[in-house]
């Protein structure tokens, strides 16, 4: 079973995560990235881990069953009749005017309580929330459900999430 571990501190090492989760049983592997990671264990150990809340240091971790790509991947080597399908870009939604110091879990609970089901949710350094959806329709419905909702005493606004592109003015020839 593969588990997603979110909220990991930047300076946390794989050995710390491995040691912490070993109290639940045999851990097959740990792979960390900047603020999240994945843990592999057998089904029984994974279920034991999922039943508990976890804190590493002073940071509360988010532990969920991993979704998405499987560990086994088929590599395209040109022998197949078609190349692999390119992953579609997600449809983004930005939640603005969130309460200060809102935590990821609080935001996730709020979003799910409206019926919106994003595939990814993140609090940006600006304090805004970014949600990603596989389908445009899901994102558009979520905008309607989330826009002008009250969250911890603040009225949030939802808008389409687009990358900000700086416009470059062409030089003026005189």
Instruction: List the domain boundaries for the chain.
Output: 2-65, 91-161
Residue 157 has a pLDDT of 95
Identical topology for domains 2-65 and 91-161: yes
- Quote the distance between the C-alpha of residue 101 and its chain's center: 18
Report angle CA 21, 26, 28 to the nearest 5 degrees. 90
DSSP state of 163: -
Distance, CA of 57 to CA of 45 (rounded, Å): 22
Distance, CA of 164 to CA of 47 (rounded, Å): 41
Taking the alpha carbons of 72, 14, 65, 8 in that order, is the dihedral positive or negative?
negative
Q: How would you classify the pairing of strands 36-41 and 154-155? A: unpaired
Distances from the Cα of 18 to the Cαs of 6, 28, 137, in angstroms? 14, 9, 40
For the segment 2-37, what is each residue's pLDDT rounded down to a tens digit? 998 988 877 888 999 999 999 999 999 998 887 788
Bridge partner list, 71: none
For the segment 104-117, what is each residue's pLDDT rounded down to a tens digit? 889 999 998 888 88
| Beta carbons within 8 Å of 83's beta carbon, 6+ residues apart | 76
The CATH number of 2-65 is 3.30.70.330
Residue 110 has a pLDDT of 92
Question: What tokens were used for 3?
Answer: 């588990």
Residue 101 has a pLDDT of 86
In the chain, where does DSSP find H-type helix? 14-21, 43-50, 104-113, 136-146
Residue 134 has a pLDDT of 85
Low-confidence ranges of the chain (pLDDT < 50): 70-78, 80-81, 165-170, 174
Give the domain 91-161 fold.
Answer: Alpha-Beta Plaits (3.30.70)
């Amino acid at each position: 079973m593969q588990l997603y571990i979110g909220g990991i501190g930047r300076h946390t090492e794989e050995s710390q995560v491995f040691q912490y989760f070993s109290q639940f049983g045999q851990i097959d592997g740990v792979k960390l990235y900047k603020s999240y990671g994945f843990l592999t264990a057998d089904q029984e150990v994974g279920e034991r881990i999922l039943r508990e809340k976890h804190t590493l240091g002073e940071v509360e971790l988010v532990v969920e069953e991993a979704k998405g790509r499987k560990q086994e991947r088929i590599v395209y080597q040109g022998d197949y009749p078609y190349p692999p399908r390119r992953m579609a870009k997600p449809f983004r939604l930005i939640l603005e005017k969130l309460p200060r110091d809102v935590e990821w879990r609080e935001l996730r609970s709020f979003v799910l309580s409206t019926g919106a089901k994003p595939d990814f949710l993140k609090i940006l350094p600006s304090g805004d929330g970014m949600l990603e959806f596989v389908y445009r329709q899901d994102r558009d419905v979520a905008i309607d459900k989330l826009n002008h909702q009250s969250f911890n005493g603040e009225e949030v606004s939802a808008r389409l999430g687009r990358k900000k592109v700086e416009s470059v003015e062409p030089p003026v020839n005189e």
